[in-house]
């Protein structure tokens, strides 16, 4: 959800961790072509997407196997804050069935625009470069960053600037936006270790391969649960060009599907006003402080 494309550390793809396997079940359970990114020349249908989906009775949701945003759990159930929210909203829009399509995070936008699925339902950060490619709903949450570190935080890492000053070995996830924040703070891009996901990051910190793994505050605090050797630092905001960054995540739609996006947005705003949105999000570890009044227009700027 909070990602930009980078290289991947192959060693961590081989991890035998049960926790990591649960994140990747989506690909095995539902299957998807590995060539989504190359399918961008497919013709996008025109017309009223909402009417078409109502007629079909099914909406296909692109997910990326990231807890707690959109994933398949150890029982094979399709869940996460974004898919659970999608189930409610699309039912109210007259579309009763949601069909998950699992892929890697970097293939979500190409897959959307090449019709592999109808909506990205992965808590994706709303970023200016992404806004040029897709339409975003207003965000359902806002988020700060956090490090996974060894117990006691021996290097005292509380910001990207701390990592730079202490020459710490830093890792982040494949496609995570945090890689750009680290580089903006002065961390050498060639030293940044890119891993498959936050569970691979936890393993790398526990084994001593890296000093810290950075991700969203929510994923960091969830992945360290049950770990006797690591902890999550207090949430912090990246600073880029002197400006404090607060990110927000939302659903992505094809740029031709504005009516569908607007209808989705209307339901999201009703759920925010009634408190129903927070009741859904709370089940996945979100706090009231991570609810937001930010808009996609603000974040796209």
Which CATH number, 3.40.50.2000, 3.40.630.30, 3.30.1220.10, 3.40.190.10, labels domain 145-244? 3.40.190.10
The strands making up 212-216's β-sheet, listed across from edge to edge, are: 193-195, 170-173, 212-216, 145-150, 230-232
For residue 236, whether the previous peptide bond is cis, meaning omega lies within 30 degrees of 0, is no
Q: What is the pLDDT of residue 88?
A: 97
d(CA 78, CA 267): 22
User: How many other C-beta atoms are found inside a 10 Å radius of the C-beta of residue 47?
Assistant: 10
The architecture CATH gives domain 31-141+248-300: 3-Layer(aba) Sandwich (3.40)
Q: What is the pLDDT of residue 83?
A: 95
d(CA 251, CA 96): 18
Q: What is the pLDDT of residue 53?
A: 98
d(CA 163, CA 158): 8
Q: What is the pLDDT of residue 7?
A: 40
Q: What is the pLDDT of residue 292?
A: 97
Write down the pTM of the prediction.
Answer: 0.79
Residues of the chain with CATH 3.40.190.10: 31-141+248-300, 145-244
Which residue is associated with the tokens 């959307």?
112
Q: What is the residue-level pLDDT of the chain in tens, covering all 301 positions?
A: 555 434 444 444 434 333 433 343 444 344 333 333 333 343 444 469 999 999 999 999 999 888 889 888 888 888 999 999 999 999 999 999 999 999 988 899 999 999 999 999 999 999 999 999 999 999 999 999 999 999 999 999 999 999 999 999 999 988 788 999 999 999 999 999 999 888 999 999 999 999 999 999 998 999 999 899 999 999 999 999 999 998 999 999 999 999 999 999 999 999 999 999 999 999 999 999 999 999 999 999 9
């Amino acid at each position: 959800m909070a990602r930009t494309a980078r290289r991947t550390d192959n060693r961590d793809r081989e991890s035998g961790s049960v926790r990591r396997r649960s994140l990747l079940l989506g690909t095995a359970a539902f299957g998807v072509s590995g060539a989504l990114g190359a399918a961008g020349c497919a013709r996008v249908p025109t017309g009223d997407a909402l009417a078409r989906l109502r007629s079909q009775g099914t909406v296909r949701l692109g997910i990326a196997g990231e807890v707690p945003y959109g994933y398949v759990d150890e029982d094979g159930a399709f869940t996460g804050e974004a898919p659970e929210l999608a189930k409610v909203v699309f039912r109210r829009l007259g579309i009763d069935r949601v069909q998950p399509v699992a892929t890697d995070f970097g293939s979500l936008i190409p897959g959307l625009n090449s019709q592999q699925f109808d909506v990205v339902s992965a808590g994706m950060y709303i970023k200016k470069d992404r806004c040029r490619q897709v339409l975003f709903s207003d965000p359902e949450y806002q988020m700060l960053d956090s490090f996974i570190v060894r117990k006691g935080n021996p290097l005292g890492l509380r910001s990207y600037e701390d990592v730079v000053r202490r020459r710490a070995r830093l890792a982040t996830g494949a496609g995570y936006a945090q890689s750009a924040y680290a580089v903006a703070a002065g961390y050498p891009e060639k030293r940044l270790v890119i891993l498959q996901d936050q569970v691979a990051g936890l393993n790398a910190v526990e084994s001593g391969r890296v000093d810290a793994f950075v991700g969203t505050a929510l994923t960091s605090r969830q992945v360290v649960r049950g770990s006797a050797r690591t902890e999550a630092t207090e949430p912090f905001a990246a600073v880029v060009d002197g400006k404090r960054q607060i990110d927000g995540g939302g659903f992505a739609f094809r740029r031709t599907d504005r009516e569908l996006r607007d209808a989705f947005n209307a339901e999201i705003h009703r759920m925010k006003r009634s408190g129903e949105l927070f009741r859904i999000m709370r089940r996945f570890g979100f706090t009231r402080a991570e609810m937001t009044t930010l808009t996609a227009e603000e974040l796209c700027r």
